[in-house]
Amino acid sequence: MLFEKAFWFIKRGYLLQMSYKFDFLLRLFFMLFNILTYYFIAKMMGDAAAQYLEPYGGDYFSFVLIGMAFSGYLMISLRSFSESVRDEQMMGTLEAMLVTPTRTSSIIALSSLWSFIFASFRVLIYLLVGVILGVDMSRANIGGALLILILTIICFSSIGILSASFIMVFKKGDPINMLLMGTSELFGGVLFPIEVFPDWLQSISHILPITYSVNGMRHALLQGYSLAELAPDILTLVLFSLALLPLSLFIFDRAVMKVKAEGGLVQY
């Protein structure tokens, strides 16, 4: 039954997305613009940042492409759960879904499926365009990359569920989203290596899951690291997931009970 539900949530997302075709095309178009911008920045930089990029293969365009592609999962995970709650509240469909026997947590999780599929499609486009523009992924450890991807999604989604709990209770103004969006892009090693920071700032990077996610992904895709070599990043992501997933589910459950008691489940 779960697969049938997942299928229908994905179909609903696809049909709604395709009913706004122009928006879909615009998103793809500006994504290409983004990639080209960094391609020419990398061309201009040449070997100027070689000392920092050495552990990642030495090429800035390859570095930033992987960072941008996979940081998209963080953005989607942070936003999609809370946005799906808010979108359904605003569209007026949340109440109709919540009177069915499907659990509230399942509804929120399944509502986000299409966003993850769309994010994966974006990652594929990023990687495809990257390869066309000369990014070398011939040594990629696909299995290792997929494992890191799964852990990344679990870990980031847990933070996204925490974020949705805030939205459910406070409707607007989610501190987790605001805090992590800003800090992850700056300190997470998305656009430049964290080694650029002084040591005391690097300690901030080390408490952010995205640091391990993009680091592991770069090593798996660009340098073909084995699972043993990827183990430090993988284990850290496992620890983050083990801590964050039960915590986020518990807090989400409490948030649902609170808004049910207050009668604000479908208010926005």
List of residues contacting other proteins (CB under 8 A): 1, 4-5, 7-8, 11-12, 15-16, 19, 91-93, 95-103, 107, 257, 260-263, 265-266
Please name which of 90, 100, 232 lies closest in space to residue 171, comparing C-alpha atoms: 90
Residue the block writes with tokens 């808004």: 259
Phi-psi region of 219 (alpha: psi -120 to 50; beta: other; left: phi over 0): alpha
**Least distance to other proteins, CB of residue 11, Å:** 8
**Least distance to other proteins, CB of residue 83, Å:** 16
**Least distance to other proteins, CB of residue 109, Å:** 13
| Nearer of residues 90 and 243 to other proteins, judged by Cβ | 90
**Helical H segments across the chain, by residue range:** 2-18, 21-45, 50-53, 60-91, 94-98, 104-111, 113-132, 142-170, 175-187, 199-205, 209-222, 227-262
| Nearer of residues 13 and 209 to other proteins, judged by Cβ | 13
The answer to whether 195 and 202 are in contact (CB under 8 A) is yes
> Token digits for 147?
């494992």
| Nearer of residues 20 and 30 to other proteins, judged by Cβ | 20
| Nearer of residues 171 and 192 to other proteins, judged by Cβ | 171
**Least distance to other proteins, CB of residue 168, Å:** 13
**Least distance to other proteins, CB of residue 247, Å:** 23
| Nearer of residues 27 and 260 to other proteins, judged by Cβ | 260
**Least distance to other proteins, CB of residue 227, Å:** 38
Rounded CA-CA distance 249/253 in Å is 6
Q: What is the DSSP letter of 173?
A: -
| Nearer of residues 92 and 143 to other proteins, judged by Cβ | 92
Residue the block writes with tokens 């964050």: 244
Q: What is the DSSP letter of 190?
A: S
